[in-house]
Amino acid sequence: MYTDSDLIYYYDGSFDGLLCCVFESYDKKEIPLDIRLSATSHSQLFSGKTIQTDLQKASRVLASIPQKMGSAALNFIRRAFLTCLDQKELHILLFLRLGYSQGPTVMDMLTDDRVNKLSKAVKHLEKESHLLTGFLRFSIFNNVLVGTIAPKNFVLPLMVQHFCERYPEERFLIHDKTHGMGLIYQPYQSAVIPIDTLEMPEADETEQAYRELWQLFYDTIAIEGRYNPKCRRSHMPMRYWKYMTEFDRPPKKFKTQTPELHQQLLIEQPKLKGLTSR
């Protein structure tokens, strides 16, 4: 018999650490009030318990999930762990408890709040990851492509395959300012590592020229009669604009192209279409 408690679990923030919290819950036959990152001082209103990360315990829980619920459930909670859902750790614990009792059918129980909340959070994660594959803009510094994002969810693990396959021979860095992490890549090797801060050097003349060409291309292909700010914001939320090259400048309108400008665009457009940032 499991009982709700006024106990708060504190863990190290890792996925293995969360699995150890699940192990502890079953071992002690208790459901914590919440699961939070380790803190130097615990809440005075509720007692706290620090759950140490034990890889042996974590592996036991990890192996049990596909056995009891199927591989889809394991992939689901891995993605749920990357979301920005409030109290995601507790929601994952409650989902797993339901899954252990219901088996693989748990993935179809969308009317159950324990499943529904996580499902919505995972969809938000996947949508944001998909949007950023198109909204990410690179700049070139010392022959390295560098881009910055500030997502709500921790999307870098979902973006690895897309960008490594798209730029297999390049070197690039994608910095996630929200989570202080970075995706670094050199040909056929990638890693997601902590990067608390990243100071970008000033753009040189070549880089600045490419930025202006991209902005010019963006303005040139726009159709003034179909300008719809509300529609654009629905497809391209404003919170992404800060790190997009085409919006990194004062509003500007270009008049009719000169023959020289038209010829320059014809030369540069194939290059622009082949790059995410330009």
pLDDT in the model for residue 257: 46
pLDDT in the model for residue 201: 83
pLDDT in the model for residue 38: 83
pLDDT in the model for residue 256: 42
Written as tens digits, the pLDDT of the chain (278 aa) is 556 678 999 999 999 999 999 999 999 999 999 999 986 555 556 678 999 999 999 999 999 999 999 999 999 999 999 999 999 999 999 999 999 999 999 999 999 999 999 999 999 999 999 999 999 999 999 899 999 999 999 999 999 999 999 999 999 999 999 999 999 999 999 999 999 888 888 888 888 898 899 888 888 888 888 888 888 888 888 999 899 988 887 654 444 444 555 455 555 555 554 444 44
**Measured distance CA(228)–CA(246) in Å, rounded:** 17
Which residue bears the tokens 């997502």? 151
- Surface-to-core class of residue 150, CB atoms within 10 Å of its CB (0-12 exposed, 13-18 middle, 19+ buried): middle
pLDDT in the model for residue 260: 55
Cβ proximity of 215 and 246 under 8 Å? yes
pLDDT in the model for residue 17: 97
pLDDT in the model for residue 271: 52
Spatial CB neighbours of 41, under 8 Å, sequence gap ≥ 6: none
pLDDT in the model for residue 270: 54
Q: How many angstroms separate the Cα of 60 from the Cα of each of 30, 89, 96, 200?
A: 19, 18, 14, 44
Cβ proximity of 60 and 27 under 8 Å? no
Joined together, the tokens standing for residue 147 give 């881009």
State the sign of the Cα–Cα–Cα–Cα dihedral 103, 12, 192, 162: positive
